[in-house]
Structure 1
Amino acid sequence: MPKPSLRESLLEAGLAEFHTNGYAATGVAAIAQRAGGPKGSFYNHFASKEELGLAALDSYGHSRRLDMLRDPSMPPLDRIRRHLAYLRSDLARHDFTRACLLGTFAAESAGSKAISQAARAGLEDWVDVLTEAIEAARHDAEFSGALPARSLAQLIVDAWEGAALRAKASGDPAPIDNLLELVFGSILAADAEKA
C-alpha cells in the first residue's frame, strides 16, 4: 500500500483531532504534529483550519454511506437497518470514543459560518435520504405509521445525534442500542401481518 500524501495525512489527522477535541479546540499545530509534518507544511495543503474542517466534513460525509439507504436490491426497512448498523459499527470501531462529526461541528462551530452551514447541510442530506427510504418502506407496505416520513427521519437523525453523544460520553453503546431497538421496535415497526 503506498504511503499517503501529506495532504491525506493532514486530513486523517484533522479528522482524528476534530473527533477528539472538537472544531474550536483543535489547532493546526496539533494536526500537523499528528500527521508527522511541520506546522508550516499544513499551509501548503490547506489555506486554513476552516478549509481543512470543510474537507474533513466532506470526507466524513462520504464515510457515512448514505448510498446504503438507496440500494434498490434491498427492502427499504432493511436498507435503514443496515445503514444504522453500519454507523453503529463505525462508532464501535473507535470504542465509542467518537460521536457524529456533523453533529459535533453543527453544535460548536458558531465562529465559522462555512463550517456551521456545511455541518447543517450534511445533516439535512441525511434527513433527505432517510426520508426517501421511509417513504419507500411505507409505499411497499413495510409499515404504516401515520407521521410524515420527513418528521420520522428528522426524529431518527436527531435521536441518533443525541445517542451517539451519550455513547461517547459514557464509552457505552447502550444509548445507540436502545435507539435502534426503539426505531425498529416502535417508530418504524413492521406491520404485524408482515412481521
Structure 2
Amino acid sequence: MRAKLVEAGVLTFSKAGFNGCSVQDITEAAGVPKGSFYNHFESKEALGAAALEHYWADGSCETLKILDERAGSPKGRLKQYFEDSLVAMSEKDFTCGCLIGNMAAEQSDHSPVIAAQLSAIFANWSRRIGACIRQAQEAGEIQSTTDAEMLATFVLNAWEGALQRARIEKGERPLRQFIDVLFTQLLH
C-alpha cells in the first residue's frame, strides 16, 4: 500500500502540484482508504519527500544513464541527454515538467524535509553531469578548463530555468536555445 501511495503521490504532485492536491486526492488516485495514508506517512510532506526519492530513483535517474555510458563521445552523450529530455517535454505538450523542478519551485521555502531531499537530488544530478563534462574535457572535446562540477551546476541551473520558460511558452524554443548556446558557446 505504501508503494501505491508513493506512485500516486508522484502522479498527483506532477499534475496538480504539491499545494494543488490533498491527501484525499492522493489516496483516491492510489485506490486506498484515506485513513490508511497515516499508517505509512506522518504527513503529506513526508510523502512528498518519498515521492521525490522514488521519482529520482525510478524515472529521472534512468534518463541519466546515457551520461554514465563509456561508449561514444562524452560530449555527444551529454547533448543526447538534453535532446532526449527536450523530446520528453515536447511529448507532454510542455506541461507538468519535472517533478524535481516543480517541487523545488513550490516547496523549497516551506518544507525543510522536501528541501533536503531536493538538495541531495540536485547534488547527485550535478555530479553525474559533471562526470560527463570531465570526460569530455579529458578527451579534448570541451576546451574549457573550468571545474567540471561548477560547469555542471551552472548547466543544471540553466536547464531548469529553460524548462520553466518552455512550460510558460508551451514550446521548445527556450530548450532549443539552451542546447544551442550550451554546445556552441559554453562547452565547445
Q: TM-score, normalised by structure 2?
A: 0.87
Secondary structure at the aligned position of 1:162 is classed as helix
Which of the numbers 79, 84, 87 marks the counterpart of 1:86?
A: 84
Equivalent residue number for residue 97 of structure 2? 99
Q: Is the 8 A contact 2:90 2:171 kept in 1?
A: no
Partner of 2:10: 15
Tell me which residue corresponds to 2:128: 129
In structure 2, what residue type is equivalent to 1:29? Q
In 1: Cα distance, 2:16 partner to 2:54 partner:
18
Higher helix share: 2
The count of aligned residue pairs is 184
Q: How many angstroms does 1:106 deviate by?
A: 2.3
**Residue 12 (structure 2) pairs with residue 28 (structure 1):** no
Coordinate RMSD, CA, aligned: 1.9
Residue segments in structure 1 that go unaligned for 5+ positions in a row: 1-5, 190-195
1:115 matched residue in structure 2: 114
Q: Which moved more, 1:102-111 or 1:120-129?
A: 102-111
1:28-82 CA distance string (max 9 Å, x none): 1111122333322323443321222122111221212333211112221122122
Q: Which runs of 4+ in 1 moved over 6 A?
A: none
Change (3 A) 1:149 1:167: same
Match of 2:43 in 1: 48
d(CA) in 1 for partners of 2:41 and 2:32?
13
The question of whether the paired residues in 2 share the 8 Å contact of 1:69 and 1:133 is answered with yes
Give the percent of matched residue pairs that are identical in Structure 1 and Structure 2. 34
Task: Please name the residue that 1:178 is paired with.
Answer: 177
Paired position in structure 2 for 1:153? 152
